[in-house]
Structure 1
Amino acid sequence: MLLLVAMGNLAWSLSAKANFNGKLTVEIDGLKNKQGQVCASIFASSEGFPSDRNRGLQKQCTKITDTPLPITFKNLKAGSYAVAVFHDQNNDSTLNSNLFGVPSEGFGFSSNPEILARAPKFSEAAFLVAGPDTNIQIQLKYF
């Protein structure tokens, strides 16, 4: 009987932890300058990742005050997420690109996947939020 009570308490404890509202702090490094802002979007699935910010779970743009620049997302359930960021140097809230579609502003993704001829898939940028405070770093890339 004591064992059943202990197992029940453990199960309740684990489920209570899974129902937390977590906070993610993204530290963005590698900014070429302090012009403009950094825009970040967090996605809970591959739908819209990485370019359709409106399909993300949350999005925000932050004026560059420090480097590295921290951006925080709140009220996240336990699970798998991916973050896409870009250095919006001209404050138009768009990742600008040249005639060939190559980004002309800095960009980056969670898990810092290698960027070759395409944007990463959700699975290549995914990370796990499994506690009340999660911290990740994203290194911006410029072409």
Structure 2
Amino acid sequence: MENLQLGISFYKLRYRSWKFEQQINVYPMKCLITIICIFWLSLGMAQTATMGTIELEITGMENDEGQMLVGLYNSEEGWLLKPFKGAFGKIANGVTTVIFRDIPEGVYAISVFHDKDNDGKLNRLFGLPTERFGASNNAPSRFGPPRWRDAKFQLLGGTLKHSIQIH
């Protein structure tokens, strides 16, 4: 009886070790297949953002003194507070041209103002601007600054030409 139990124990031990060896041999292959699948799927998901250019023409300046300050905004939360990109434009014959390059596709809005005294700020008197300003889509400024929803536009890659008349 003892020999029989030893034989059964030996068989179980041998069967378990064979199972273990089989698992060890299969494991690297499963890992390799999993890694290849993840890599292949990630190639399909990795999309490069399409870049575009915004060419902006600003008109309506009373004179060529000072400079134009331009802010490009990419969110409603940052509108008029935190520009995505900023630029200074030189005024020539009452017109300024500013170009924003390598801008990812998305929704944007632009604000501009004529900084006559080159202090980098929109001057105000009793809360009202004393320097001329404007926004993309020539968004109106009724009882406050222009609203994001009136000034926003979509950039879909390529070149977008935009003009703003300041007031």
**TM-score under structure 1 normalisation?**
0.79
Whether 1:47 aligns to 2:77 is: yes
Structure 1 runs (4+) greater than 4 angstroms displaced:
none
Q: Which runs of 5+ in 1 are unaligned?
A: 1-11
More relative contact order, 1 or 2 (CA 8 Å, 6+ apart): 1
Amino acid aligned to 2:154: L
Q: Which runs of 5+ in 2 are unaligned?
A: 1-43
How many angstroms apart in 2 are the aligned matches of 1:119 and 1:128?
21
- Who is 1:74 aligned against? 101
How many angstroms apart in 1 are the aligned matches of 2:95 and 2:154?
22
* Higher normalized helix content (fraction of residues): 2
What displacement does 1:66 show? 4.1
What does the per-residue CA deviation read over 1:17-40, in whole Å, with 9 as the maximum and x for residues that have no partner? xx2211101110111110000000
Aligned residue pairs total 122
Amino acid aligned to 2:149: S
TM-aligned CA distance change 1:66 to 1:130, over 3 Å: farther
- Who is 1:124 aligned against? 150
Higher-Rg member (1/2): 2
What displacement does 1:65 show? 2.5
* Structural mapping, 1:23-42, within 5 Å: 23-42=53-72
Whether 1:133 aligns to 2:163 is: no
Pairing partner for 1:83 from 110, 117, 120: 110
Amino acid aligned to 2:155: V
Whether 1:106 aligns to 2:132 is: yes
Taking only aligned residues, the RMSD between alpha carbons, in angstroms, comes to 1.6
CA contact (8 A) 2:139 2:147 kept: no
Amino acid aligned to 2:55: T
Whether 1:20 aligns to 2:50 is: yes
Percent identical pairs in the alignment equals 31
**TM-score under structure 2 normalisation?**
0.68
What displacement does 1:64 show? 1.4
